Structure 1
Amino acid sequence: MKNELLKIGPLTLYGYGFMIAIGVLAAWLVVEQRARKLQLACEHIFYLVLWCVLGGFASAKILFWITEWKEMIRNPLGMFSSDGFVVYGGIIGGILAGWIYCKVKKLNFLTYFDLVMPSIALAQGFGRIGCFLAGCCYGKEAQGGLSVIFTDSDYAPNNIPLIPTQIYSSILDFLHFFLLLYIARHKKAEGEVAACYLIFYSVGRFILEFFRGDLERGSIGVLSTSQFISIFTGVAGMVMLGVIKKRAKK
């Protein structure tokens, strides 16, 4: 893969950063369009997305520091590297930042939670393409069937056929986006879309982690860090959905 897409003098356009930017832009545009269609307060959308993005990136970095605490102690300057983020940290931090914004602006959090979450899945789809271009978040060595071989990656093992987990993740994220839009059109109560996001993403991520080959993502016992977190986010989504359904019946 080619992570350096374009060079103009001292400036370099990296594939990972470029796809992240496209994902954030696409997410914002979809949220804006859906907010207008649902007749929500559109003047808050830009700032809500901005809060979620900043909170998400900060939390993704913090969780990476936690999972790599030994390396951070050995090399404290590595904390300021532009590399190293944990997606689950971004999800949790983005949700928390959105909740704080809604509280400050006195908005119905569940309404905007449902509004934003399909776009999160969309942004993740583009982000995983960026991972593929960079070679990070790579899969285990492939024993047959579909595989990808990196020849100039700073992250993935080069010249070895690997399971293209980034592409599988991207496809699932885009399918997740369309599924959540369908659920949003047929939901019976606020919060259903967000709860379904937590459930579907947790299940998909838990399964995909078995095919990942990058050991630096950390582990807790026999589970990877992301699998461990998936258990709690999945249960939280199911509890949330159950409570919402019960309230809707009443």
Structure 2
Amino acid sequence: MHNDLLTIGPLTIHGYGLMIALGIVVAYSATLYWAKRLHLQSDHIASLIIWCLVGGILGAKLLYWTTQVKSILQDPMILLNFTDGFVVYGGIIGGILAGYLYCRKSNLNFMQCFDLIIPSVALAQGFGRIGCFLAGCCYGQETTSWFGVVFPASSFAPSGVALVPTQLISSVLDFLLFLILVFFAKKKKAHGQVAALYLLLYSSGRFVLEFYRGDIIRGNVGMLSTSQFIAIILIIISIGMIVISFKKLSLRIT
């Protein structure tokens, strides 16, 4: 919960940025490792990852701006702040769209590539949520439970009160999801099933965890937060992907 980890002269290493960078490096390395095991062209995979990363960053920023329209109209300078203000779901959607475009351009099997990359996405998210905890963003509601965390005044979270550590809960769930996906990838019957399982499990967990979030800056759609609304859509899509994959598999068998 201390974001300033190390200061060397004018340079300060922030925990949030360090965890994001570490997550990207580990996820990139893991994806290249699995691509080699599957005998996929590493140059294509490296380019695909870069496309997904850029698309993810743009998507995360665009969705954040969408939830902050009123604030932006009052203060347009918000648009010039590129260091914070990202929505994870925007990153997921933006990364998927960018990956799809690259696969179409390069004549790659999108669902196969989707399955390849998505476990690493969960892995990167696990590190990223640790960064959120260090910075104090994405914090939880006030609580009197034993696991409540009190953040310092220097963090984004309210100080002096115990809060549900939603960042750490998210991190643990992301790492667990990574392990589940890696295991399932060895058992899958058709391309797209690993990706569908990620969307189903991540969205389900995120929908529930949103009830314990304490930051209200993320916007809402009716009684649901923006993330809960998107989670419902992605759960429906993931179920559809699973059904379609099994139908295709049954047609091959028959």
Task: Specify the TM-score bucket, using the shorter chain as the normaliser.
Answer: over 0.9
Q: How does 1:139-218 map onto structure 2 within 5 Å?
A: 139-218=140-219
Q: Which residue of structure 2 lines up, in the alignment, with residue 124 of structure 1?
A: 125
Amino acid at match of 1:20: I
Match of 2:69 in 1: 69
Amino acid at match of 2:48: L
Q: Shift of residue 10 of structure 1? A: 1.7
3-state SS in 1 of match to 2:217: helix
CA offsets 1:207-226 (integer angstroms, 9 cap, x no match)? 00000000001111111110
What pairs with 1:74-153 in structure 2 (closer than 5 Å)?
A: 74-81=74-81, 82-153=83-154
Stretch of structure 1 that moved more, 71-80 or 115-124: 71-80
CA distance in 2, matches of 1:76, 1:83: 15
Q: 1:36 corresponds to which letter in structure 2? A: K
Residue matched to 1:5: 5
Partner AA of 1:116 in structure 2: I
Query: What 5-or-longer segments of structure 2 have no aligned partner?
Result: none
Tell me the CA shift for residue 152 of structure 1: 2.5
User: SS at the partner of 1:162?
Assistant: coil
SS of residue paired to 1:236? helix
Separation (CA, whole Å) in 1 of partners of 2:187 and 2:154: 44
- Cα separation, 1, equivalents of 2:171 and 2:80: 27
Q: Deviations over 1:51-81 (max 9, x none)?
A: 1111000110000000011111111111121
Kept in 1: contact 2:196–2:238 (CA 8 A) = yes
- Moved >2 Å (runs of 4+): none
Which letter maps to 1:140? Q
Deviation at 1:247, TM superposition (A): 0.6
For 1:191 and 1:78, locate their aligned partners in 2 and report how far apart those are by CA, in whole Å. 38
Percent identity among equivalent residues? 52
* Alpha-carbon displacement from aligned partner over 1:210-250 (angstroms, at most 9, x marks no partner): 00000001111111110010000110011011100111111
Aligned counterparts of 1:14 and 1:29: Cα–Cα separation in 2: 23
What does residue 37 of structure 1 align with? 37
Report the more deviating stretch, 129-138 or 213-222.
213-222
- TM-score calculated relative to the size of structure 1: 0.98
Equivalent residue, structure 2, for 1:225: 226
- How far apart, CA to CA, are the structure 2 residues paired with 1:11 and 1:214? 29
2:186 match: secondary structure = helix
Mapped contact 2:3–2:155 kept (Cα < 8 A): no
Post-superposition Cα deviations, 1:61-108, rounded to whole Å, max 9, x if no partner, equal 000000011111111111121110000000000000011111111111
CA distance in structure 2 between the aligned counterparts of 1:143 and 1:238, rounded to whole angstroms = 37
- In the alignment, residue 43 of structure 1 is paired with which amino acid? D
Once residues 86 and 147 of structure 1 are traced to their aligned partners in structure 2, the CA distance between those partners, rounded to angstroms, is 24
**Count of residue pairs the alignment pairs up:** 250
**Distance in 2 (alpha carbons) for counterparts of 1:185 and 1:222:** 39
Does the aligned pair in 1 maintain the 2:4–2:15 contact within 8 Å?
A: yes
3-state SS of the aligned residue for 1:216? coil
- Shift in Å, 1:37: 0.7
1:51 alignment counterpart: 51
